[in-house]
Amino acid sequence: MKEPVRSGNRGKGVVGKSAAALAVIATLAVARPAVAASAAVSSKSGKAAGAPAGRDRAADEVPVPGDNDRDRDRIRRLQETISEILHNRTLGRLHVGLRVISARTGRLYYARRADSLMDPASNQKVLATTAALMRLGGDWRFRTELSAAEPDDEGVINGNVHLRGNGDPSLRTVNLEALAARLRARGVVRIDGGVVADPRRFGDDVPAGGGQESNTGEAPEDGRAPLIVDRGITVVRVRPGNSAGAPAVVLTDPTQPGGDDGRRGFVIHNQATTTNSGRRARVTVRIGLAGGRLRIDVAGRIGLGTAGVAFRRRVPHPALHAAVLLRAALIAAGIDVRDASTTGARPASAALVEVHRSAPLSIVLRKINKDSDNEQAERVLQTVGAEERGGAATTEKGLVVLREVLDSLGLSPNSYLSKNGSGLGHANRITPHAMADLLRALYLDPRVGPEILQSLSVGGIDGTTRNRFKGTLAARRVRAKTGTLNGKSCLSGLVGDGDDLMVFSIMVQGFRGKSLPAVRASQVGAVTAMMRYVREGTGERIDLPQGFDEQLAGKDVETGGEVMESAPEGEGEGEGEGNHGDATGEKAPEIMPLTGEAPPRLRTSKKSADGGVRRSRPPSQAEPGGRPIVR
């Protein structure tokens, strides 16, 4: 849709809202901002003038603007357009909750089932990140510490080095390599001991079990342990040997020095063989615990001369995995490490020698809300709970803090039900009324408003809305949080120019997966109508083409997926090297998504032209009638 030339010079919109501007507007707010009463008469059974007939009309709350309201005409046009969208052939058959208000005054423009508790999906992340930002502050950082005895004059550390963290979800191998490089720069050349990872969080003094206590094969930690690197994922590469019948070549990431002499971080049990070229690769990879070390079992066959396959696997013991990665980084930096990697409690006598600090929390939150990062959302909620209440980081503690924060912002405890920080599952609930009021309260709060707005996705530009709103009036003028689960789609945020901003929450449920693009298109259409209302405040007259709310259907290629569904373990295949997606065949963990709105469900991998293995297109990008996506 071609955007008309705008008249006049308006502000930079919600995208360019500065902290200073927010602070000025925030003077209008109070501790518990209440929605201002509309000057117009409101009726739950009322309807916008000229709105078409449709089912569930009594569910609409459409305040009728007074005759002396200078914005009467544009308000009525907005209400008419939203009503048409709510009763179009897509949304007219579905359960829709909606609330549209002024960000500055709280004036209500349109509501439908706004007080119905609905599943927010990933809109739940706004609640979790708000709790963390309010209690910890935007400058707060995660810490990962390296402790040991002070090195002697010859650069030797006598004893073990100890690694401990407080749940940094952004910790990566490169950060451990930086720690190792700084230690080497201080003159350390040898460690007369091993690398010991402490699986306890800072402030949690519950005794930790050492490596020998983990020989049962059961993971002593869950997927959100306080010390986890690369999301607890390791890459295993399998390549054909030199001849038919030869063992396949198995490489870990990173490649571990030391062979199988007990110092190696991974024990590899390789039963995969090389077959004659042209035969289809069938390889399985499992990771477990054996003798206090991580064991990789590889089986199957791979054709001679074919490309290798790569598997991404979640490790069963994140702290031990972190110790393995740090040991490899130390050796790569030129520091000899005598003993193996293991886990255990850091002794009180160990001194802090190096520390890694994450990016500020305000930056971490951008990853969570823009890209809808499930893992980081859960970790941040658990972290704020532990920081506020002490001890181990748990979801329950985080939810206590979340409820306290939402109460301080004026949300009724009856208007929401929170069970986690990511929105995964189907247990969370919130009303569109509460979601819109929360966003307005945050906008008016100078303590967190700028950071929260900066963390939301910009329509047509970045995050989960980067493929939405392009070519519409709302492009670059809307900041929003998306949410998608099986049969549910949510979009909540702010749209407008300068100080003329509207807050909205649109929650839709009850549709089949193939209808998701059309549902999203209708949501985009409603937000576009809001932006037209703002633009017409300058005296412009903007006519939207017939069916504009359905023209964007199919353009959005973002995926959703609550968890990754795959074949039973042992029946799948890897992926061609260079594409390190999660290989079919691994049982999905509870929270598997690595980035974005959660990944698509995977189909069985197919053989590529060169004999390697590749993943087929997810259903969201496949032919019509593909299996519905979830998230």
**DSSP H or E segment with residue 286:** strand 282-290
Residue bearing tokens 């579905």: 94
Question: Counting Cβ atoms within 10 Å, is residue 150 exposed (0-12), middle (13-18) or buried (19+)?
Answer: exposed
Q: Which amino acid is at 198?
A: D
**pLDDT at site 63:** 94
**Domains delineated in the chain:** 12-118+431-558 (3.30.450.330), 120-138+361-429 (no CATH), 142-358 (no CATH), 561-631 (no CATH)
Tell me the pLDDT band of 308, cut-offs 50, 70 and 90. confident
Over 50: is that where the pLDDT of 117 sits?
Answer: yes
What pTM was estimated for this model as a whole?
A: 0.78
**pLDDT at site 206:** 63
**pLDDT at site 586:** 29
Over 90: is that where the pLDDT of 197 sits?
Answer: yes
Query: What would the two tokens of residue 485 be?
Result: 């689960």
- Tell me the pLDDT tens digit for each residue of 214-245: 433 333 344 467 899 999 999 999 999 999 89
Alpha helices in 279-394 (DSSP H): 318-332, 361-371, 374-389
Over 60: is that where the pLDDT of 608 sits?
Answer: no
Report strand pairing: 488-497 vs 478-485: antiparallel
Which of 19 and 403 is assigned the larger pLDDT?
Answer: 403
Cα-Cα end-to-end distance for the chain? 29
CB 381 within 8 A of CB 395: yes
What mean pLDDT do residues 403-431 have?
96
Which of 271 and 499 is assigned the larger pLDDT?
Answer: 271
**pLDDT at site 56:** 56
Strongest mean pLDDT among 332-346, 528-542, 610-624: 332-346
CB 17 within 8 A of CB 450: yes
**pLDDT at site 256:** 53
Percent of the chain residues topping a pLDDT of 70? 72
Bridge partners for 272 per DSSP: 300
**Distance between CA atoms of residues 483 and 507, nearest Å:** 9
Alpha helices in 233-279 (DSSP H): none
Query: What would the two tokens of residue 398 be?
Result: 């985080």
Strongest mean pLDDT among 84-88, 307-311, 496-500, 543-547: 84-88
- Tell me the pLDDT tens digit for each residue of 41-61: 344 444 444 433 344 555 799
Query: What would the two tokens of residue 241 be?
Result: 């040997």
- Tell me the pLDDT tens digit for each residue of 353-393: 999 999 999 999 999 999 999 999 999 999 999 999 988 89
**Distance between CA atoms of residues 302 and 240, nearest Å:** 6
**pLDDT at site 600:** 33
Over 70: is that where the pLDDT of 250 sits?
Answer: yes
- Tell me the pLDDT tens digit for each residue of 64-90: 999 999 999 999 999 999 999 999 999
Vertex 294: Cα angle to 291 and 296 (nearest 5) = 115
Percent helix, strand, coil in the chain, to 5, is 30, 20, 50
What mean pLDDT do residues 28-41 have?
35
Report strand pairing: 233-239 vs 190-192: unpaired
Percent of the chain residues topping a pLDDT of 90? 60
Over 80: is that where the pLDDT of 566 sits?
Answer: no
**pLDDT at site 551:** 63
CB 164 within 8 A of CB 144: yes
Question: How far are the Cα atoms of 122, 125, 178, 309, 431 from residue 402, in angstroms, in the given order?
Answer: 16, 11, 35, 43, 16
Among 97-101, 348-352, 613-617, which stretch is predicted with the lowest mean pLDDT? 613-617
CB 574 within 8 A of CB 536: no
Tell me the pLDDT band of 202, cut-offs 50, 70 and 90. confident
Question: How far are the Cα atoms of 262, 332, 443, 454, 479 from residue 16, in angstroms, in the given order?
Answer: 56, 44, 13, 9, 10
- Mean predicted lDDT score pLDDT of the chain: 78
**pLDDT at site 276:** 87
Q: Which amino acid is at 457?
A: S
Query: What would the two tokens of residue 204 be?
Result: 């949690």
Over 70: is that where the pLDDT of 449 sits?
Answer: yes
Which of 390 and 37 is assigned the larger pLDDT?
Answer: 390
Q: Which amino acid is at 619?
A: P
**pLDDT at site 255:** 63
**Distance between CA atoms of residues 351 and 555, nearest Å:** 56
